[in-house]
Structure 1
Amino acid sequence: MQYLNLFNTTKLASLLNTREGETKLGQVVQLADASQDLNTNLTQAKANGARFVIIGIGEDIGPRANLGRGGANDAFDSAMAQFLNLQSNRFLSGEQCIVLGQVDTQDLQLPANASTESLRSKVEQLDLRVITLLTQVFSAGLEPIVIGGGHNNAYGLLMAAKAGLKRPIAAVNLDPHSDFRPKEGRHSGNGFSYAAASGALGYYHVLGLHELKNSETTLEQLKTFGGHWHSLQQIWIRRELSVETAVKSIAKDLNNTQLPVAIEVDLDAITNMPSSASTAAGVPLLDALFYVSYIAKHCPTAYLHLAEAAPSCHVAGAAAGHRETGQSISELLYSYISGRINAL
């Protein structure tokens, strides 16, 4: 399948740790058949009980094109090493998921000294791959869970969701940055502004926006679009309202749009998460899990996107980074899947 590296039995075996008397998720999840085309695989997986399609995007050209750090290219493997070794039991059996694989980005990678212009050109090429692949997933009636890469991929996801679901998308984004920067060439900081200009983004709310990490120009653009936000300072510092109150208010507003909902998470919103722009003053992981769980359960959610995790950027080294990001992403995955399965 073009521009898709399938997650196969060999890869699964390299990550899976079995134990007698137990069944792990990796022993139950569905995998694609390389002898069949993508649409056939998706149709067959759905017929066999799949609802969620887990996909990785291993790239850091988007953050680098935004003058940020690299490293956001290996979160998918970290997540699968943890998630697939969780227990298959009464709470989640596993056959609801097909682990599809990763978007092929090898030919898009550029050296550390690559120019900003060349990086942004490669991001445009990646956009087309994400749109092509994910449109097929949405059209098949399945929900993608996308892991890894920069937040630039929100644009491709929103475009694909609009194409597959035939409607604009209402997005909520847990992120210190609005990613609504000017349309100056594609990068991780303007996925939502490009999606808004294209008509794919019908409504936008940022949760945890850092009041001093967004330029006045960006805030004004967001306001002009009609975007909304609750800031990090409002909730977690000044305690003007609780995270529960904020999330419930966001869910109500999302439902009022009567549009499909995208749940976006920039992992650099979470305190000390290794990422392209990690922060010491961030959102607790447990609050991020609540946010994902609540929106997934109470809104007509179309997909979950977990962006920007960069295990190699962990202060204690890559091994610690893989453990922390893998465990954190696994918990976010389960929060989303559980919320959707038990949706009201």
Structure 2
Amino acid sequence: MPEYMPFTHAEMAALVSPRAGETKLGQCVHLAPPEHSLETTLATAKAHGAQFAIIGVGEDIGPRANLGRAGATNAFRAAMSQWLNLQSNRFLCGTECLVLGEIHTADLLPISTGGETPSLEQLREAVAQLDTRVITMVSAILAAGLEPILIGGGHNNAFGLLTASAAHYQRPVAAVNLDPHSDFRLLEGRHSGNGFSYAAANAALGFYHVLGLHELKNSEANLAQLSAFGGTWHSLQQIWVRREISLSQALEEIATKLNATKLPVALELDVDAITKMPSSAATTAGVPLLDAAHYVSYIARHCPCAYLHLAEAAPSCHEAGLEAGFKDVGQSLSELIYAYVQARLQFLAKPVNSSLTTQY
């Protein structure tokens, strides 16, 4: 069974629209030759200047295992259809990025012969199997010296990212997550709502802060479990409703706390947090996209990030249909990817003895 499905030159050509006098990112990024092993692809891209590896996970098993909506299966392709058509210019060339493809997921659930819906137990077992594949892929990317940018699927994939990062850096990871939900639910079988609590239980998570936590979308038991771990948060209501603290102040506080841990930083974003974003739990009362992009940029520019995770986007859940979903999700994820890449390039160019940042 292949570990992933490489994003090929043919797929790139089908998405990119060349224009005379212009160069698109898709004409510059590194791709994964199907005939090469994963290790060879990563090493070759690294040797030729790549610093980031973009990988997709086309699955909605995690949200369904959490009794949520299906649909988070094609965010990666939606993102690439827009990202690869952006301009290669003085701000970003494109050679900084390797577009790998998507982790193989098609075989994770048993094939139904009678149209039966998979049971909750089957879904959660499938999520546990997917964890292993995410860990394997992310471990290989980190070992090659590249930063993973994981797009799509449920927020269950945070567990694999955190576990692989902790193993690579040989210490727990400090995570910040823009999300109305803490995803710190009970250890009741793997799903999209307990990636962080499972990582904490496995000693992969050393510090956890939730930005934009919705005060009434988290159970008291959930909040109590998060507090018992030592997790902290700024709520959606504190910043965007009651205006008790500004987003700038919150981000400065978060970056200071993250850097004080001396741990590698996991930069997490559940697009459920963004207003009207097609997702498994879309909201009309969320964070503006540009605030989400600023969050990504600020943390990536001020903290030693191990990876970026953009979870839960579901183009098929758009109220106007799949085509509109592809456009909105694709454009939004492209802005978030660029915010991360551009900020990380700035961070990596800073002197190691910066007063705010801490290299691991």
Q: TM-score by structure 2 length? A: 0.94
Q: Kindly indicate whether residue 210 of structure 2 is the aligned counterpart of residue 217 of structure 1.
A: no
CA distance in 2, matches of 1:101, 1:253: 34
Q: Per the alignment, in what secondary structure is the counterpart of residue 175 of structure 2? A: strand
Q: Does the 8 A contact of 1:3 with 1:105 survive in 2?
A: no
| Aligned residue in 1 for 2:312 | 308
What is the correspondence of 1:1-344 to structure 2 with a 5 Å cutoff?
2-109=2-109, 113-343=117-347, 344=350
Residue-by-residue CA offset, 1:3-45 (whole Å, 9 max, x unaligned)? 2000001110110100000000000000112222111211111
Equivalent residues, number = 344
Q: Does the 8 A contact of 2:271 with 2:277 survive in 1?
A: yes
Residue-by-residue CA offset, 1:171-226 (whole Å, 9 max, x unaligned)? 00000000000000000000000000001001100000000000111101100101
CA distance in 2, matches of 1:37, 1:75: 25
Residue-by-residue CA offset, 1:216-241 (whole Å, 9 max, x unaligned)? 11101100101010000000000001
Moved over 4 A (4+): 109-112
CA distance in 2, matches of 1:10, 1:108: 26
Letter in 2 for 1:184: E
Residue-by-residue CA offset, 1:31-65 (whole Å, 9 max, x unaligned)? 11222211121111111000000000000000000
Q: Per the alignment, in what secondary structure is the counterpart of residue 235 of structure 1? A: helix
Residue-by-residue CA offset, 1:238-279 (whole Å, 9 max, x unaligned)? 000111110111001000000000100000100010000001
CA distance in 2, matches of 1:233, 1:217: 20
CA-CA distance at 1:141 after TM superposition: 1.2
Residue-by-residue CA offset, 1:139-185 (whole Å, 9 max, x unaligned)? 11110000000000000010111122222110000000000000000
Q: Per the alignment, in what secondary structure is the counterpart of residue 107 of structure 2? A: helix
Q: Does the 8 A contact of 2:181 with 2:217 survive in 1?
A: yes
Q: Note the aligned Cα RMSD (angstroms).
A: 1.0
Segment of structure 1 superposing worse, 158-167 or 260-269: 158-167
Q: Does the 8 A contact of 1:65 with 1:187 survive in 2?
A: yes
Q: Does the 8 A contact of 1:59 with 1:109 survive in 2?
A: no
Specify every segment of 5 or more residues in structure 2 that has no aligned partner in the other structure, as ranges: 351-360
CA distance in 2, matches of 1:60, 1:109: 11
Letter in 2 for 1:249: E
Letter in 1 for 2:11: K
Q: Per the alignment, in what secondary structure is the counterpart of residue 342 of structure 1? A: helix
Q: Percent identity?
A: 64
Q: Per the alignment, in what secondary structure is the counterpart of residue 107 of structure 1? A: coil
CA distance in 1, matches of 2:206, 2:34: 36
CA distance in 1, matches of 2:34, 2:53: 16
Q: Does the 8 A contact of 2:275 with 2:283 survive in 1?
A: yes
| Aligned residue in 1 for 2:353 | none
CA distance in 2, matches of 1:238, 1:7: 45
